[in-house]
Structure 1
Amino acid sequence: MDTLTDPAQPSATPFFATGKRSRDLAAELGLSEAELLAAHEGPEVVRLTLEAEALVNALPALGEIMVLTRNDVAVHEKVGRFGGIRFGKEAGLVINPPLDLRLFPKAWASAFAVEIPGEREPRRSIQIFDRAGHAALKIHLRPASDVAAFEALRARFAVAERAPLTVTPYPTEPVAEAIDAEAFRRDFAAMADVHEFVPLLRRHKLGRRGALALMGEAHVRPLGAKAATRLLEAASAGALPIMCFVGSRGCIQIHSGPVERIRAMGPWINVLDPGFDLHLREDLVAEAFAVRKPTRWGALTSVELYDAAGLLAVQFFGVRDEKGPEDERWRALVARLGGAFEG
């Protein structure tokens, strides 16, 4: 059932004055984060028209920013500048190292410009949400950002009239029926590029987690507890560059490079490096697997972390040339985690 939030009914205390993160406060109130922002009365939050391509193409003017993409398990933060923007029918790309984003505007449903008081200066951001009111991605300004460009963007895309925000929860993913397992395995074995995997899943009406059960132990090995911690610590100790993918429904954000400062804080395992932060709730990782997929350049190995709902939360690869084999050091690291494959 759809939920309607009336922005004419503000809470007594502004959300930013509670000392709580807006996501946490929204959960306490039984709201989505987008609903919380939409209900705010005051100039701190301005709803934006969601012209996805135009909005993204306006972001380079902000200069240096931090992009945040998250799901229930992990938060991925990367500092850089928007550029190298391309849009196709299904997705957009931002490839301007160190930023590397895959954008899925069809999942975007609302956007806001947020400017809230801070100790030294206001904290400014552009926040985009999916139809359930969950954050697709957030773009946070930094001290070097262009504030005038932010103000111009806010004025250009501001919604003229306030209106209720409708959110629609995503249904539980249905269990696929009548799967032709042999046909899937045959098509999987014929893959020439790892990017063919998602279209393959669509053709066979499979989710990622369901596909793992069909791929067999020649391609999938379960990993034990603390797989992410052990992976990150080993990559740091060996100065091995890795790729870390964290996705929401509206964006996948990628880090490619070394990880150095690995810190555990309560249930979180963190990467705290200049320009890149990863915050991962390992206690919310329900399953972890080493996965091997065929390509024309040889098998590629990933480490995949799934949440309790069976959704992919985090994915790791070794850094490699796009058209070349994977680094043997990465393969050896995964083997030490318990993901050794024969051949």
Structure 2
Amino acid sequence: MMNVSFEQHAQALRERYARYKAQNPKARIRTLAQDMSVSEMELVAAGCGQIVPVRLTEPAQDIFKELGSLGRVMALTRNDWCVHERHGKYEDIRAGRVMGIVLGPDIDLRMFFSSWKFTFAVNDDGRLSIQFFDAAGAALHKVYITDESDVDAYHALVARFTDPDPVWPQAVPDVPKADETVARAPAQLREDWLAMKDTHEFHELLKRHNVSRLTALRDVGEDLAQQVPNDVAERMLTDVAERDIAFMCFVGNRGMIQIHSGPIKKLMRTGPWFNVLEPHFNLHLDTTAIDSAWVVNKPTADGWVTSVECYAANGDLIAQFFGARKPGVPELTSWRELLVGYCPVPLAA
């Protein structure tokens, strides 16, 4: 049973939400939450609009391990500037205390559970989902039931993990951390970059030299990272579609990275958004939010690996693109040639 305090919070938010929604009928819940200076999670918890929420028990890892029972679903991960939607089944799920991974052929995820806090089952006018939020109430990942999903398994999962005595979920606003990274990368960064054997070593390289991603890209040398025009992401997506090049698209936030691998064909622009619209994969990229774009060149045991990286004005990574490959397999020649063609300065090879 909900307590009085819970219902008072919820009723007040529902009334405010109704007023904002009436003024902005096409606005999505994430946008309305920002306009109202509350979190998306709080609007979900309050049952705003046509939402009927069910608070699920912690920790999220226990629920995540059971997502494979739902069959084919739609997985959604986004940040402020890019939305990544992928249809498939959760397979080979590993969910530890801090880290997790899903390695199915369709759903490919990397989870960082230290920031996960709230989980809800959501019925939004008949559309069923499981939604995961961080402590500040920002959405980290959503799992939507589709016509191909096992609805009975969904209801069984919800029943199993329903919180029997939910209290109002108190969001804790983010406190921005002071940037303590150095403004210039040391010369040793380039030597360590050239010594990499795996792209996954990059994060440790940044930590070792106490530099941000953008500082590393700016200072390592143009043969290893060079800035390109901000429209390179749209150009690249158009080129891989026309040339039938299989690629990988990484989109993430503080708690999740979601990956698509494969070719694409259908592209469409809608206002500021450049969209990939495949039956199994949708990408919505706000190209007006791209403050800088880079072609990045890293050595590995399998040869050079190149990527396109797009950054927002605050330095956050919006999206990252690679040629489709698996560990132990060299980069696609067609992908490498495509990215080399975008670079005015030759890349190390």
The two structures share one fold, judged by TM-score above 0.5? yes
Q: How far off its partner does 1:308 sit?
A: 1.1
Give the structure 2 partner of residue 196 of structure 1.
Answer: 201
* Distance (whole Å) between structure 2 residues aligned to residue 266 and residue 179 of structure 1: 37
Give the structure 1 partner of residue 229 of structure 2.
Answer: 224
Q: Which moved more, 1:274-283 or 1:34-43?
A: 34-43
Give the structure 2 partner of residue 153 of structure 1.
Answer: 157
Structure 2 residues not aligned, in runs of 5+? 1-5
1:327 aligns with 2:335: no
CA deviations on 1:134-158 (whole Å, 9 max, x unpaired) are: 1111101101212222222222222
1:139 aligns with 2:143: yes
Give the structure 2 partner of residue 277 of structure 1.
Answer: 282
From 31, 34, 42, give the equivalent of 1:35: 42
Percent identity (aligned):
40
Give the structure 2 partner of residue 113 of structure 1.
Answer: 121
Give the structure 2 partner of residue 101 of structure 1.
Answer: 109
1:295 aligns with 2:315: no
* Distance (whole Å) between structure 1 residues aligned to residue 339 and residue 187 of structure 2: 28
- Is the 8 Å Cα contact of residues 250 and 258 (structure 2) preserved in structure 1? yes
Query: Counterpart of 1:161 in 2: which secondary structure?
Result: coil
Q: Which moved more, 1:199-208 or 1:328-337?
A: 199-208
Q: Which moved more, 1:236-245 or 1:9-18?
A: 9-18
CA deviations on 1:281-323 (whole Å, 9 max, x unpaired) are: 0001110000001112222111000011111110000112421
1:341 aligns with 2:344: no
Give the structure 2 partner of residue 71 of structure 1.
Answer: 79
* Distance (whole Å) between structure 2 residues aligned to residue 172 and residue 284 of structure 1: 22
Give the structure 2 partner of residue 124 of structure 1.
Answer: 128
* Distance (whole Å) between structure 2 residues aligned to residue 37 and residue 280 of structure 1: 25
1:214 aligns with 2:219: yes
Q: Which moved more, 1:175-184 or 1:69-78?
A: 175-184
- Is the 8 Å Cα contact of residues 14 and 40 (structure 1) preserved in structure 2? no
- Is the 8 Å Cα contact of residues 7 and 164 (structure 1) preserved in structure 2? no
Q: What count of residue pairs does the alignment treat as equivalent?
A: 336
Paired amino acid for 1:83: E
Q: Which moved more, 1:84-93 or 1:54-63?
A: 84-93
From 9, 12, 24, give the equivalent of 1:9: 12
Paired amino acid for 2:347: F
1:83 aligns with 2:91: yes
- Is the 8 Å Cα contact of residues 183 and 211 (structure 2) preserved in structure 1? no
Structure 1 residues not aligned, in runs of 5+? none
- Is the 8 Å Cα contact of residues 38 and 165 (structure 1) preserved in structure 2? no
Query: Counterpart of 1:299 in 2: which secondary structure?
Result: strand
Query: Counterpart of 1:302 in 2: which secondary structure?
Result: strand
